Structure 1
């Protein structure tokens, strides 16, 4: 028991020494915020603990040096007068305020060996933060407007990113909301999707609707919109053409087969008896059983209805600004209609479970080509979806 207590005590001492060492190393390297964070974490647990006196000294020193270094950096950036520094100045003032907020709940911190309280010279940075935020907001606003004036799609996207940051920093700043909508609209790629049928067959409207419903493909993209019908309000950048090149439909086939069945089946059975009417036993003492088998025959008339449809085409990606083909990917599917049923003549003991199920089936009308095309839509969408996901426009 004593040994366990000694080990725990030794571990606590080593841990405390380790954290002091890490804090001192961070302070010596100029990583003042790290040194402050280490000290604050330890002091939050027990600020009056004797082992934490070193952390108070590190915190006092780190706070003073952090404040001095930050103010020097702010002064330099203000003198340089570069508008791009507005973000850094704002963040630096925030950092000064945040460090004070970390330390404030711990005060007062007593240094017993020096018979004094640790000194922290706090300041009110609220006005500085507001002024820096306003400067940063002005910078983001002007930067965004400058990018939007380039009338370039990628510049509009950069502007939207800056305006989004501005909206988080300063909600309802000037006309930011309207500029966000405008930059998103002009930064978006509008894609016209069209199904082109080059086959002699008519494509069912339902199939076309299913394939052109791009909401079902999971192509969520903030900067891309797919339209199945062209709108005069949009200038289209790309086109995705679903070209049907060939549709091959087989004849309606009916295959009939006669399958002769023959087997030995148990007709009857009984236990053998002797003249006295007693059961005859074998060498193991079991009753001897006599079984009579009979050969039975029958014919299973199996009918198979089949009709197939094969569709071949490709997906073309076209740059409408340059009127050129970017890429082309094959797209195809096959749909097979099959119905199997049967009739039977003979002893039904010949039939297995599968045969009996076939006897329950009946002849059904063959599907039309239009029906088969509609039925193939899910398979076709399953092949089209991965093509669209793998091949984004930008």
Structure 2
């Protein structure tokens, strides 16, 4: 019953598609149903609808093509090409199902299949020639956005016909002129010396994984390249806190089991159980230890900002704050007294040792790892153009 209802619904839906002029939707639905089961009770209705939709779709497309050709507008080459592709696709969709006999029609459904190969090739060549001319017009405007548009048009030509004329060279040229070459620099205004390694890593934007097809970052100016945009990393403050050692003493006390002894009665005699065995009881004792905890700490705070600049107009486009704090911390301990009084976590500290404090330059270098992550987020989340 459910299958019959679904079949009825599909026929009604297809009738609606045809009535609304959605012929390709009607064709696709009918083909799908006939591919699934051409012997079903409703297949005949789908065959009739398929024939009607096909005839009307072909008629619409051929009349539209005729009109566009008479109009003689080069921009129409795109639509003409895709109309011929639709005509070809429609036939290829139906061809595997033929012949389709209809009891209602009392004959095979009629589908006039035409060889559109000549027209399709001609339409494709006209479309490619139009695209080539269109791309050239965008290139002539000599604006970054237009170079990028031209690049995408050349890519479309490449997909339609690889190695067409000099498209490969023109595509490379469009990409080059459509690329933002960004000069990146670092200004250290903190009064502290920055390790050369950190400066090199901060300015190497190739390691940031930005994957921006239209942007190249250079930290050294190259000849014959005009840098329209710049990114400046300003380090305004590098505050390094002094080395600190904090010591504290903690008393650990426990009452623990320390062997056993016989239970005695009031007279000092050993108490026995019902079987005559001496009764043993746990013996407890109090233990104590002193835990000497030492905490080493040192910190650095790096603060600054990232500025996007228009190098031609010599003005700032955007400004983003940037800060990072790195803290060195090491905790270790020694003890005196009975080790049985210590807690399990105390042994983690006891097994640790004193570590030499990192130098100021190493602290700044360690903070640089976090700076790089924060700088990467700024670059990823804020396009320069």
Is 2:344 the partner of 1:353?
A: yes
1:34 is displaced (CA, Å) by: 1.8
Superposition pairs of residues 59-208 of structure 1, within 5 angstroms: 59-208=50-199
Contact 1:273 1:280 in 2 (8 A): no
Aligned length: 382
Contact 2:238 2:300 in 1 (8 A): yes
In structure 1, list runs of 5 or more residues that go unmatched: 1-6
TM-score normalised per structure 2: 0.90
1:382 is displaced (CA, Å) by: 2.5
1:259 is displaced (CA, Å) by: 3.9
Change (3 A) 1:301 1:69: closer
Is 2:330 the partner of 1:339?
A: yes
Contact 1:272 1:290 in 2 (8 A): no
Q: 1:34 is paired with a residue of what secondary structure?
A: helix
Contact 2:234 2:304 in 1 (8 A): yes
Superposition pairs of residues 283-362 of structure 1, within 5 angstroms: 287=279, 289=281, 291=283, 293-294=285-286, 296-362=287-353
Q: 1:17 is paired with a residue of what secondary structure?
A: helix
Cα distance in 1, alignment partners of residues 320 and 227 from structure 2: 21
Deviates more, 1:379-388 or 1:84-93: 379-388
**What corresponds to 2:210 in structure 1?**
219
In structure 2, list runs of 5 or more residues that go unmatched: none
Cα distance in 2, alignment partners of residues 161 and 125 from structure 1: 28
**What corresponds to 1:3 in structure 2?**
none
1:279 is displaced (CA, Å) by: 2.1
TM-score normalised per structure 1: 0.88
1:349 is displaced (CA, Å) by: 2.8
**What corresponds to 1:51 in structure 2?**
42
Q: 2:371 is paired with a residue of what secondary structure?
A: helix
Q: 1:182 is paired with a residue of what secondary structure?
A: helix
Cα distance in 2, alignment partners of residues 101 and 299 from structure 1: 89
1:254 is displaced (CA, Å) by: 2.6
1:233 is displaced (CA, Å) by: 4.0
Q: 1:270 is paired with a residue of what secondary structure?
A: strand
Deviates more, 1:269-278 or 1:188-197: 269-278
Q: 1:28 aligns with which of 3, 7, 19?
A: 19
Cα distance in 1, alignment partners of residues 74 and 305 from structure 2: 52
Per-residue CA deviations over 1:182-233 (Å, capped at 9, x if unaligned) read: 1111111111222221122221122123322323433222212222332224
Contact 2:296 2:329 in 1 (8 A): yes
